[in-house]
A = this chain, B = another copy of it.
Amino acid sequence: MALEHAILVSLLEQPGSGYELARRFERSIGYFWTATHQQIYRVLKRMEGDGWIDAREVAQQTRPDKKEYSVTAQGRSVLAEWLHEPIAPESVRHELAVKIRGAAFDDPVALIREVERHREAHADRLARYLAGELRDFTGPEAPSAPDAGQELQHVVLRGGIAYERMTLAWLDDVIATLHRLGPPA
């Protein structure tokens, strides 16, 4: 459970509406925490009720009005408290690995296509991460003296990049293994 905390972090980085948060969860924040708009609206309501955030109605001419949320002092201290708590080592859920072991009881070669699809998805994600890194951290437009927030965002992004590179290499290994089990008979 950390959606509340992910939202607090995101709103501290930049206040915004539920809709905007939902979009961020498809981008930057979404690289390490996912959430749908339904879930976000529900949690925002609870957080507002608990006094962690407050809303400001923003009227817009061309677009529908929106509620812009910001983190309250109380929200900040809830976040600080959470940051000081140790977290349990994460539990893994790797569906593709289940399928790979399951392939022993079906046709290993039939899985190759699926694994290749995943390989493509990860290659895409890596490309997006690298583009983001160039834009925000290592390119000519990037700040020459990044602040703490930017340094931390960058190190998290480097983690995403490392993860995608590792995954690509592993999926190549998987594909080669599946081929070897195939019909070369």
Contacts and interface: CB of A to CB of B under 8 A. Distances in A.
Interface of A: 2, 5-6, 8-9, 12-13, 30-34, 76, 79-80, 82-84, 86-87, 89-106, 108, 110-111, 114, 117-118, 121-122, 148-149, 151-156, 158-159, 162-163, 165-166, 169-170, 173-174, 177, 180-181
A5 B102 contact: yes
Nearest to A85: B114
A114 B98 contact: no
The 8 A-B pairs with the shortest beta carbon distances in the complex, nearest first, are: A32-B97, A104-B149, A32-B94, A34-B91, A166-B166, A155-B177, A9-B102, A159-B170
Contact of A152 (B86, B100, B166, B169): B100
A101 B158 CA distance: 13
A97 B29 CA distance: 9
B93 A87 contact: no
A149 to B, nearest CB: 4
B80 A106 contact: yes
B79 A87 contact: no
B181 A8 contact: no
